[in-house]
Amino acid sequence: MPTILVVDDDAHIRQVITFALAKAGFRTIEAADGQQALERFAREAPDLVVLDIVMPELDGTEVCRRLRRGSHVPIVFLSSKDEEIDRILGLELGGDDYLAKPFSPRELVARVRAVLRRTAGEPGARTDGPRVLRHGRLMLDLDQFKAFWEGREVVLTVTELGILRTLIERPGKVFSRDHLMGSAYESRTVVADRTIDSHVRRVRAKLRAAGGDPIETVHGAGYKLGPC
C-alpha cells in the first residue's frame, strides 16, 4: 500500500485529500507546514508527496528544494494560484505534476495513480520489456529507478525519467512534445508546451552536469536522443 504525505496548512483541504486517497486504497500521513513535512518525510519515507506551495514556516518550493537534495520522491504540487509562472516554477524545482486549487479530489487521485504507476508504486504497473536500457554512455536502470551517464548517477524525477525512457527506447527518432508527455502524464491530462520544455530543460541540465548533453532539439518538431 503506497504511502502519501499530504502537506497543506489548511486542515480542511488535508481532510478532503486524505479521505479521497484513503478511499482509493492509499495510506496517508499529514503535515501542516513545511518544517513538519520534512520531519515526517524523514521518519516515514513516503512513496509520494502532495505539496502545497504557500505555507508558513517553509513554503512548498523550499521543501521541494530540500527534498531534491537527496531524494527523487514524486511530488505533486498544489497551489491557489494558476498563473503559468507558478506552474513552471514548481516543475523547474523538480515537481512531477501540478494542480491548481480548487481541484477535484478525483482528479488528484488520478494524478497520484499515474505518477506512482510509472515507478511501479501500484499493482498493475508496467513490468514487461527490458528493465535496463542503454545507449552509448547513457544507461537507465528501471528496476532501481536510476539513470547513469558513464557510470555516474543522474538523479531524475518520475516525469523526467519517463521522458528519458521514451527517448532512449528509440534513439534518433524525433518525438513531439505531446508524445513525450504522453509517456509521463495520462492521456486526458492537458499539458502546455512550456511545461514540456521545462521538464526537458531539467533533464538536459542534469545530464550536462554529469558530462553529457545527448538530447537534441528539433525546431518545430520536438526532441530526439542523439549520439551518446
| Same domain membership, residue 140 and residue 93 | no
Answer yes or no: do 7 and 112 share one domain. Answer: yes
Mean pLDDT is lowest, of 1-10, 101-110, 147-156, 188-197, for 188-197
CATH number of the domain that 58 lies in?
3.40.50.2300
Entry pTM? 0.63
Q: Which of 179, 207, 22 is nearest to 108 (CA)?
A: 22
What's the chain's average pLDDT?
83
Whether residues 111 and 158 share a domain: the answer is no
- Look at residue 174 and tell me if it is in a domain: yes
Residues 99 and 155 placed together within one structural domain of the fold:
no
192: in domain: yes
If one compares 87 and 106, the residue with the highest pLDDT of the two is 106
Q: Report whether pLDDT(188) > 50.
A: no
The span from the CA of 11 to the CA of 32, in Å, is 7
Q: Residue 158: which domain range?
A: 132-225
Same-domain check for residues 113 and 178: no
Residue with cell 521514451: 166
pLDDT tens, residue by residue, 31-45 = 999 999 999 999 999
The answer on 83 and 178 residing in a single domain is: no
Residue 125 included in any domain: no
Mean pLDDT of 5-14: 95
One-letter-per-residue 3-state SS of 122-164: CCCCCCCCCCEEEECCEEEECCCCEEEECCEEECCCHHHHHHH
Q: How many domains does the chain have?
A: 2
Looking at the chain, the whole-number percentage of residues with pLDDT higher than 70 is 84
Asked whether residue 53 is assigned to any structural domain, the reply reads yes
Residue 58 and residue 154 in one domain: no
pLDDT of residue 89: 66
Q: What is the pLDDT of residue 196?
A: 79
Q: Does any domain span residue 142?
A: yes
| Closest to 203 (Cα-Cα) out of 150, 174, 165, 151 | 165
Radius of gyration of the chain (CA): 17
